[in-house]
């Protein structure tokens, strides 16, 4: 089921056909060191994750990120409601980073959360050495709200996580940038909610 379309990407539900692409993306150390996914990331891990997230529900959205015009899944993103707060993450296959896809996905996720789910803020974070994620988040309006520690399986140690928050107001303020507004204008919500 397709949920969101951006200029170059489709955000849709996962299917078991995506196992190969998910393993390709997440078994890479350079990607996994920024995440809390199991490492090494195996086919078994992928089958477990996808089986759990085959259907979205009102408290948990998981999207495979597919490159338009192809069947290729280049990443994933999620949006979970826990104790009244929206959390979740994003990853892209390293081969597809640095081309603006992350910003497209992250903005699509925010638009869905604010306009469809009526969230007023999103809670996130990034490991303190992850300057790319920091930059991507700050660009669309995330503000630092604290610090925490998380275990990173790929690094096999605790890592300092910078905690961030994106309010609806800060997101729409960030859209004053013409470049971001152009990305935002091309984001189409195809399926508003779970039935
Ligand atoms: C983080 C991630 C989703 C970003 O996606 P992406 O497609 O690479 O990001 P984009 O190309 O949209 O934007 C990245 C921005 O960071 C900038 N950037 C790249 N490397 C950087 C660095 N080392 N320091 C600071 N900024 C950097 C880019 O110039 C770009 O900014 P611009 O649009 O103003 O030019 C992706 O790199 C990824 O999946 N990384 C591995 C997993 C991960 O870190 N997930 C997030 C966990 S919090």
With respect to residue 106, please indicate whether it lies within any of the assigned structural domains: yes
What is the extent of the structural domain holding 77?
2-119+175-189
- The total domain count for the chain is 1
Mean pLDDT of the chain: 97
DSSP-derived secondary structure for 90-121? EEE-GGGTTSSHHHHHHHHHHHIIIIIS--SE
Q: Is residue 169 a contact partner of residue 176, using CB atoms and an 8 Å limit?
A: no
With respect to residue 110, please indicate whether it lies within any of the assigned structural domains: yes
With respect to residue 140, please indicate whether it lies within any of the assigned structural domains: no
* Mutate which of 132, 144, 148, 164 for ligand 1 pocket (most atoms within 8 A of beta carbon): 132
Q: Is 176 in the pocket of ligand 1 (CB under 6 A)?
A: no
Atom of ligand 1 nearest to the CA of 34: 44
pLDDT recorded at residue 193: 79
Over residues 18-46, the pLDDT tens digits come to: 999 999 999 999 999 999 999 999 999 99
With respect to residue 99, please indicate whether it lies within any of the assigned structural domains: yes
Q: Is 25 in the pocket of ligand 1 (CB under 6 A)?
A: no
With respect to residue 57, please indicate whether it lies within any of the assigned structural domains: yes
For residue 195, pLDDT over 80 is answered with no
Q: If you measure from the C-alpha of residue 82 to the centroid of ligand 1, how many angstroms do you get, rounded to a whole number?
A: 26
pLDDT recorded at residue 194: 82
CATH (domain of 183): 3.40.630.30
With respect to residue 24, please indicate whether it lies within any of the assigned structural domains: yes
With respect to residue 135, please indicate whether it lies within any of the assigned structural domains: no
Q: Estimate to the nearest angstrom the gap between the alpha carbon of 90 and the chain centroid.
A: 3
Q: What is the mean pLDDT of residues 120-129?
A: 98
With respect to residue 153, please indicate whether it lies within any of the assigned structural domains: no
């Amino acid at each position: 089921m397709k949920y969101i379309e951006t200029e170059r990407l489709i955000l849709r539900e996962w299917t078991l056909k995506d196992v190969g692409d998910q393993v390709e993306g997440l078994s890479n150390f350079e990607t996994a060191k920024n995440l809390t996914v199991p490492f090494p990331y195996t086919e078994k891990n992928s089958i477990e994750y996808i089986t759990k997230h085959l259907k979205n529900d009102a408290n948990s959205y998981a999207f495979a990120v597919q490159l338009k015009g192809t069947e290729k899944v280049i990443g994933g993103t999620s949006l979970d409601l826990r104790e009244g707060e929206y959390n979740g993450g994003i990853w892209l296959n390293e081969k597809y980073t640095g081309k603006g896809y992350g910003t497209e996905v992250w903005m699509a996720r925010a638009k869905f959360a604010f306009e469809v789910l009526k969230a007023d803020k999103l809670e996130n974070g990034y490991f303190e050495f992850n300057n790319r994620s920091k930059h991507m988040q700050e660009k669309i309006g995330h503000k630092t709200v604290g610090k925490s520690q998380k275990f990173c399986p790929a690094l096999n140690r605790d890592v300092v996580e910078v905690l961030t928050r994106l309010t609806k107001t800060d997101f729409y303020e960030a859209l004053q940038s013409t470049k971001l507004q152009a990305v935002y204008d091309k984001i189409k919500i195809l399926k508003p909610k779970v039935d």
